[in-house]
Amino acid sequence: MMVCMTELWPAPFSATPITHTVSVPGSKSLTNRAYVLSALAQGPSTIVGALRSRDTDLMEAALASMGVGFVTEGDEISVTPGSLHGAEVDCGLAGTVMRFLPAVAAFAAGEVRFDGDERARQRPIATILDALRDLGVQIQGGSLPFSVHGASRARGGTVEIDASGSSQFVSGLLLAAARFDEGVTITHTGGTLPSMPHIEMTLAMLADAGVAVESTGHTWRVAPQPIRGRTWVVEPDLSNATPFIAAAAVTGGCVAVKNWPAATTQPGDAIRTIVERMGCETVLEADAAGGHTLRVTGASRGTLGGIRLDMSDLGELTPTVAALAAVAKTPSELTGIAHLRGHETDRLKALTDEINRLGGDCEELADGLRIRPARLHGGQWHSYDDHRMATAGAIIGLVTEGVEVENIATTAKTLPGFESMWADMVEA
């Protein structure tokens, strides 16, 4: 596994319980889905509270290069659909860009060329490209870089895919399905389908945009129909909130996260149940403004319990939960996450290597991790240009002196300014 040696960030250590209140910016998953639906809609849309990060900036830039209009005023982004045309798309390391936009590019007049970071060229993409070919789209290449030869319209039809490598293959087709001449029927044929909450998020947003989807098991049918423009209000990114919740859990402190939604499709909401099972207390409190604040109180320092958990629907939380498990007093086993080998890095190998590098006891399983209690020590924690690997190192550094996280700046992928927010929390 390639390690990018850049500046080391001394992870702040806290000898006392953390007490802090934090607000996190908008959800990346919701923001990028809102961008795509707004670009394909029949009329203008407004996105309120969109996340501004590398992943979302890449999505906006890609759609703008294809002819979509964007105007930002304060917390609002006005989106005006246009006649899509050929363009160059930089995917960076964003799975949503590389997997959502090929279907959009089918409706461009001209060639849309896709490329991205070196690691992005290793991420699974052939499944959705082959599916689009079956739906009548002309595509050259089977991995980054590849080209979509748009014809302003596409036939559509029925397609079978194995989406066990990423739920984004299903979401990427669903988001554009209503624009195909014949609509699209998608059937997942694989044995497992990870991250179902993200598909449910896609379905909920399609419904909000007026798109009817018939779902039967692992088959989804979308007839040709208009996608309505609307106002999208983006919730805070709950996955980005999890490191701050983990700070309360590992230090025995209390962290409050403002504007936590009372109901949500975000998988990050599951962190509440996870930390409760590990010994923490959580309370969702209504505030005077009509919103809610999540308050998490950790167990006494050093008493955090381990957990056995099927994380097939919660893969993006794995680095946070693995960091919690690495400092827990009893063993943990996290399963159902073989698909994480195709994320920003091979997260199962990366977590195993980095936890063990600090004296931990982490074993890589066929579909997960087994983590046993061990006395950790300081040292370098490599991020592999993976934002969630970087935040996992920061969590462990709170209770392990001398941890240095390599390339903490990679957190800008979804949470720009993380290191300042983290320092503010520790110093508060």
Query: What's the pLDDT score for residue 64?
Result: 98
Strand partners, 89: 114
Binding residues for 3-phosphoshikimate: 28-29, 33, 166-168, 195, 316, 343
Query: What's the pLDDT score for residue 287?
Result: 83
Mean pLDDT by 10 residues, the chain (428 residues): 65 98 97 98 98 98 98 97 97 97 98 96 95 98 97 98 95 98 97 93 98 97 98 97 98 97 96 98 89 96 97 96 98 96 94 98 98 98 97 98 98 96 95
Q: Kindly report, as residue ranges, where domains of CATH 3.65.10.10 are found in the chain.
A: 8-26+236-427, 28-233
CA distance 347 to 338: 9
Query: What's the pLDDT score for residue 283?
Result: 98
DSSP state of 45: E
Q: Are 249 and 297 in contact (CB under 8 A)?
A: no
| Sequence-distant (≥ 6) Cβ neighbours of residue 235 within 8 angstroms | 26, 27, 30, 49, 259, 261, 264, 266
Query: What's the pLDDT score for residue 3?
Result: 41
Q: At 77, phi and psi to the nearest 5?
A: -120, 120
Among 411, 405, 422, residue whose Cα is nearest residue 5: 405
| Sequence-distant (≥ 6) Cβ neighbours of residue 396 within 8 angstroms | 11, 250, 323, 326, 327, 355, 358, 376, 381, 403
Centre a 10 Å sphere on the Cβ of residue 345 and count the other Cβ atoms it contains: 25
- Note if 316 is an active site residue: yes
Query: What's the pLDDT score for residue 397?
Result: 98
Q: At 277, phi and psi to the nearest 5?
A: -65, -25
Sheet containing strand 138-140, edge to edge, reads: 85-90, 109-115, 146-151, 138-140
Residue-wise pLDDT tens digits, 221-254: 999 999 999 999 999 999 999 999 999 999 999 9
With a threshold of 0.75, does the pTM exceed it? yes
Binding residues for phosphoenolpyruvate: 28, 95, 123, 168, 347, 388, 413
| Record: fold of 28-233 | UDP-n-acetylglucosamine1-carboxyvinyl-transferase; Chain (3.65.10)
Query: What's the pLDDT score for residue 290?
Result: 78
CA distance 147 to 172: 16
Amino acid in position 304: L
Which entry of 60, 200, 276, 316 is annotated as an active-site residue? 316
Query: What's the pLDDT score for residue 6?
Result: 65
Q: What one-character-per-residue DSSP string does 307-320 give?
A: -EEE-TT-GGGHHH
* CATH class as words, domain 8-26+236-427: alpha beta
Query: What's the pLDDT score for residue 236?
Result: 97
Among 317, 161, 349, residue whose Cα is nearest residue 249: 317
Show the tokens assigned to 173: 């087709």
